[in-house]
Amino acid sequence: MSPLFRRRKKSRDKSAPLSPDDVSLKLGLLRAADLFQDLDDSQMDHVQKITVMTQCQRGRLVYSPGEQAEVLFLLKKGRVNLYRITPEGKRLITAVADPGTLFGNMAFTGSSMAENFAEAQEDSLVCVMSRHDLEMLIREYPSVGIRLVDNLSTRMRELEDRLEEGLLRDMRSRVAATLLRLYEHHGSKEIAITHQELADSLGTYRETVSHTLGQLQDEGCVRLGRARIEIRDAAALAELVDKDVSAAKSP
């Protein structure tokens, strides 16, 4: 059972009532989630009573392989890396959870963490829901189920994009495709990511990614900063990807 889930159960059984200020803060955080945006005030009050927010310090494991409990996490603040360890012992980031992202291990939502770790990349705030909690919310408030389907559809599209990126042959185009996806996802030309994190998401070495980014910077496509990559010419990055896709389709 996830340590956060154990802590959540203990908190729900024994914690003192929240102060009005704490309730207001918690409601504000929950309202920011797409999952609950169709609920009215009384319904949101119900939601906040059956959920518990948990602080996770940077570097803390939120979930690890072998956990048995069906549990779903909703990230409210911070960032969480979802990754697995390859047979060669390399760390492969499969997704980066930003605020509003759902992740965890729950069969009926299509979310599986069987072989994955979830680690707080920075100090984070997480809402933990058991299968019972989520099933009850969906039964009482069908709009939550609709929003959940929308969220899972978005996740599926992202996984398809990553699969296509993995089929690209040239490292420059793979890096370009990943940067463009992050640009589209975050809506900002400045992407907060380190060379190591980018390498982990591509399943390659940091030195390879750093060399490739240096080439892209020399070509005016990006500008490198401290744990930041600014996209300077998105059209040029897209052209790199398109050329590689066309080459892959050629006989």
Q: How many domains does the chain have?
A: 2
Residue 183's contacts (CB-CB under 8 Å, 6 or more residues apart) are 189, 191, 231, 234
- pLDDT exceeds 60 at position 9: no
Q: Which of 161, 191, 216 is the last residue of a domain?
A: 161
Q: Are residues 226 and 144 in the same domain?
A: no
Residues 10 and 34 in one domain: yes
149 and 199 housed in the same domain: no
Answer with the one of 119, 134, 161 that is the final residue of a domain: 161
Segment 1-26 shows an average pLDDT of: 53
Residues 47 and 135 in one domain: yes
Nearest one of 250, 85, 229, 87 to 169, comparing CA atoms:
250
CATH number (domain holding residue 223):
1.10.10.10
- State residue 180's pLDDT score: 92
pLDDT of residue 220: 94
Share of the chain above pLDDT 70, in %: 81
* Same domain? 24 vs 147: yes
**Do 36 and 135 sit in the same domain of this protein?**
yes
Structural domain ending residue among the three candidates 104, 135, 161: 161
Residues 123 and 194 in one domain: no
Across residues 14-24, what is the average pLDDT? 56
CATH code for the domain in which residue 67 is found: 2.60.120.10
Residues 6+ apart with CB under 8 A from 72: 102, 103, 104, 105, 106, 109, 111, 128, 129, 130, 131, 134
State residue 120's pLDDT score. Answer: 92
Residues 119-128 have a mean pLDDT of 90
Start-end of H helices in the chain = 3-14, 20-31, 41-50, 131-140, 142-167, 171-186, 195-202, 206-218, 234-249
Domain that holds residue 119: 3-161
pTM for the structure as a whole: 0.66
Segments of 43-123 assigned E as strands: 52-56, 61-63, 71-77, 80-85, 91-97, 102-105, 117-120
Asked whether the predicted pLDDT for residue 214 surpasses 90, the reply is yes
Q: Do 148 and 235 fall into the same domain?
A: no
Let me know whether 132 and 177 are in one domain.
no
